Every structure is written in structure tokens, then in C-alpha cells.
């Protein structure tokens, strides 16, 4: 092979890599990376994987504690949502999620014991999936101070979110409630 062709091939490959790398952008606030081991994950905007055409948000396992979890999330004030039913909805796509991923939402109140919460662990997304519509619905109490929401990636893999909505819905839309992942025993073991 002629040296000119080799150089041209290397330049073309480098250009394609640069274009792919440029498609990942930093997320604007109030989106943040949190969780048990946030340093094990990366978040950003991916212009290549999108259903809306605007780019999707993503969380991706990079390295570190494989049995832990990270979340791409944000928190907002709850004033305009008090005494209403709220739905966080997004299109979700996954790649190589080895444990589970899912949407979550929490409403913070002065009494943390009564703060509504749901994390989709009972409806996990695993492995590699195409875009699917997912949602979380909670009631926002009158004393709510903040609403936090996002997506969990537990273990390895990558999760994309696109076409996101946070909206007030009617009382005809059921509220999500945490269900035990494993059934509780009906009698004690003594």
C-alpha cells in the first residue's frame, strides 16, 4: 500500500473519531451526576442517539465499583406542583445494562418518612433495549419542598433518556408505589 493512502486512511479514521467524540456534550444545570459511586459513571448529551432529534441525555458506567449505582438527576422546587399528581416521563434506551436501570422520582417533604418515592426497581430495564416509553407518577403533598427525578443505572451499561416531560396529570392516572422485589414471608422463622 502506498504511504499516501495509509496517511489518508489514518486522517479519515481520526476525523470520524473526532466527529463521534464531538457528539457527546456536557449537560447543563440543574442536571447532575449523583448516586452511591458517581465517579464510576459519566453523564452528557449524545447527539447521535436521539429520538427527538435534539440529542439525548445519558449516564454510562466507566470504571470502578461494578456493584454500585449512579443516577442522572435534577431537583426542582415543588411550589407549582403542590396538591397535584405529577408524571415524569421519558423515552429510554439501554445498552449492556447488567443489573438494572429505571426512572425514579422523589418528593421531599419536611417529614422525610412521608416523602413519596418510586424507583422502578420492580419494573427494571436490563440488557440492551430500543427506545421505550417509561414513566413515574407521584402525588405531591401540600407541604412538599422539592421534587427530584432522573434515571438510575445500577452496575455496568449505558442508559439514554430523550423526549422528557414533567407534567401534571389527572387523578385518573394511577400513582406508582414501591412493591417488594421479593415477597415477604407470611410467618416468622423462629
Confidence at residue 18, expressed as pLDDT on a 0 to 100 scale: 42
Task: Say if residue 76's pLDDT is above 50.
Answer: yes
Instruction: Supply φ then ψ for residue 80, to 5 degrees.
Output: -75, -5
Provide the pLDDT confidence category of residue 12 given band limits of 50, 70 and 90: very low
User: What pLDDT does 5 receive?
Assistant: 44
DSSP-based three-state secondary structure for 5: helix
Q: What is the pTM of this model?
A: 0.81
Q: What tens digit of pLDDT does each residue of 128-164 get?
A: 999 999 999 999 999 999 999 999 999 999 999 999 9
Q: What is the SS3 assignment for 164?
A: strand
**For residue 108, what are the CA distances in angstroms to 63, 79, 167?**
31, 11, 17
The residue-averaged pLDDT of 164-188 equals 87
pLDDT of residue 114: 78
Q: Which cell goes with 14? A: 481520526
30, pLDDT greater than 80 = yes
* Confidence at 7, pLDDT banded by 50, 70, 90: very low
Using an 8 Å Cβ cutoff, are 120 and 102 in contact?
yes
Half-sphere exposure of 97 (CA within 13 A, CB side): 27
Task: With a cut of 50, say whether residue 59 has pLDDT above it.
Answer: yes
Over residues 45-60, mean pLDDT: 95
Q: Kindly report the backbone phi and psi dihedral angles of residue 181, in degrees, each rounded to the nearest multiple of 5, phi listed first.
A: -65, -40
Cis peptide before 30 (omega within 30 of 0): yes
Averaged pLDDT, 21-35: 82
CB 48, CB 130: distance < 8 Å: no
pLDDT for 24 equals 73
**pLDDT higher than threshold 90 for residue 11:** no
Q: Percent of the chain at pLDDT above 70?
A: 86
Segments in the chain forming alpha helices (H): 3-22
Q: Is the pLDDT at 172 greater than 80, yes or no?
A: yes
Q: Report the chain's mean pLDDT, rounded to a whole number.
A: 87
Amino acid at each position: 500500500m502506498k504511504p499516501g493512502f495509509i496517511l489518508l486512511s489514518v486522517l479519515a479514521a481520526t476525523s470520524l473519531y473526532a466527529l463521534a467524540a464531538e457528539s457527546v456534550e456536557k449537560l447543563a444545570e440543574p442536571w447532575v451526576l449523583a448516586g452511591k459511586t458517581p465517579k464510576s459513571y459519566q453523564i452528557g448529551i449524545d447527539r447521535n442517539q436521539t429520538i427527538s432529534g435534539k440529542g439525548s441525555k445519558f449516564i454510562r458506567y466507566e470504571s470502578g465499583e461494578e456493584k454500585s449505582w449512579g443516577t442522572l438527576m435534577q431537583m426542582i422546587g415543588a411550589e407549582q406542583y403542590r396538591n397535584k399528581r405529577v408524571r415524569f416521563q421519558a423515552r429510554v434506551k439501554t445498552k449492556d445494562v447488567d443489573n438494572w436501570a429505571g426512572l425514579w422520582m422523589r418528593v421531599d417533604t419536611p417529614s422525610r418518612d412521608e416523602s413519596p418515592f418510586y424507583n422502578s426497581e420492580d419494573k427494571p430495564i436490563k440488557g440492551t433495549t430500543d427506545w421505550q416509553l417509561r414513566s413515574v407518577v407521584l402525588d405531591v403533598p401540600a407541604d412538599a419542598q422539592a421534587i427530584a427525578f432522573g434515571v438510575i443505572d445500577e452496575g455496568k451499561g449505558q442508559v439514554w433518556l430523550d423526549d422528557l416531560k414533567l407534567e401534571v396529570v389527572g387523578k385518573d392516572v394511577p400513582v406508582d408505589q414501591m412493591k417488594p422485589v421479593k415477597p415477604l414471608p407470611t410467618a416468622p422463622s423462629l
